[in-house]
Structure 1
Amino acid sequence: MITGWFLAEEGGVGLNFDILETNLINLIIVLGVLFYFGRKFLGKTLSTRQSTIEEAIVDAETRKQEAAAALAEQQQKLAQAQEDAKKIVADAEQTAARTRESILAQAEIDVERMKTNAAQDLSSQEAKVMRELQQRITALALERCEAELPNRLNDDVQRRLVDASIARLGGQS
């Protein structure tokens, strides 16, 4: 069995076939090479990654502050809109009350006017009916007189009427 480095008889370097020794040495060599060549690459990559993360954090903080400011502004607008809505409702209630009062007052005026017109119409109708009634009574009286006049007006009564009329005419002249 060959242990250690395989040495040539005159002293030189050879191959070592011991698995445990060679794995450790190989691992150290690989780590050394990685450390030597990879530290710049890995450092640069990690530095880039770190700056990207820092930028993302700063950007997120900025967006958070902007969102908070926008939220505060929108809440203020909402509060103002609610105040405006309350004012509009109050104004509408006042307008409705004034309109109601106006409508009731106008209705009272209209009712009074209608009562006055109705009373005038009633008086007018009453006067018309009275005139028609008087005309009808007069017409009936004339008809009755004309109907009875020939029976009551005999020759003697006619002479007396003519004489009385002549006497009156004679006294006026």
Structure 2
Amino acid sequence: MKNVTDSFVSLGHWPSAGSFGFNTDILATNPINLSVVLVVLIFFGKGVLSDLLDNRKQRILNTIRNSEELRGGAIEQLEKARARLRKVEMEADRYRVNEYSEIERKRLILINSTYKTLEKRENDQNETIHFEQQRAINQVRQRVFQQALQGALGTLNSCLNNELHLRTISANIDMLGAMNEITD
């Protein structure tokens, strides 16, 4: 490696008249060298750079195309999702209306059932009250009858003597005999 750098350094010492060599004066040679390098780069690098730019352009276009396709697919999926959402919302509304109707129907059934139960209980209570009233009336009637009967028996026993007693029995037997003759 040292030999190669030495040969370049020795080239710098060659005289420049009529021969090829390197000029180490930077101010004089830099624009020329740069222009030569640029011309060489442009001439030979033009195809490579053009190919790189074309490849880059194709990749960008492919990326844009893929993005557009993905965007289109996303829009399509979004529309499908919106359609499903509308369908689900309609179904939810229908379900909500049906459930509210069902709840209202059950509420009315429960109200009617409760009303009928209360009406039946009231009727049962009224019947029980009427039955108890009739029983109380019957008990009062029996007591009044018993007291009247006891009073009548007491009055009869005190007023009735033996002769009156025999006449009453005889009158009753005659009445029964007359009734038997009518029925025969």
Q: Is TM more than 0.5 here?
A: yes
Offset at 1:64?
1.0
Q: Which residue of 1 aligns with 2:70?
A: 63
Q: 1:83 aligns with which of 76, 90, 112?
A: 90
Offset at 1:52?
1.7
1:55 and 1:67 map into 2 onto residues whose CA distance is 18
Q: Which residue of 1 aligns with 2:19?
A: 12
Unaligned stretches of 5+ residues in structure 2: 1-14, 178-184
Offset at 1:171?
7.2
Structure 1 vs Structure 2 CA RMSD: 3.4
Find the residue that maps to 1:13 and give its secondary structure: coil
Q: Does 1:164 align with 2:176?
A: no
% same residue: 22
Corresponding letter in the other structure for 1:137: V
Q: Does 1:42 align with 2:49?
A: yes
CA deviations on 1:139-164 (whole Å, 9 max, x unpaired) are: 44455567x469716xx614421443
1:131 and 1:171 map into 2 onto residues whose CA distance is 32
Q: Which residue of 1 aligns with 2:10?
A: none
Q: 2:158 aligns with which of 146, 152, 162?
A: 152
Corresponding letter in the other structure for 1:88: Y
1:119 and 1:60 map into 2 onto residues whose CA distance is 85
1:15 and 1:92 map into 2 onto residues whose CA distance is 98
Residues 100 and 41 of structure 1: CA distance in aligned 2, closer, same or farther (over 3 Å): same
How many residue pairs get aligned? The number is 163
1:97 and 1:13 map into 2 onto residues whose CA distance is 110
* Higher RCO (Cα < 8 Å, 6 or more apart): 1
CA deviations on 1:3-39 (whole Å, 9 max, x unpaired) are: xx721xxx42344343233102221232244335544
Q: Which residue of 2 aligns with 1:73?
A: 80
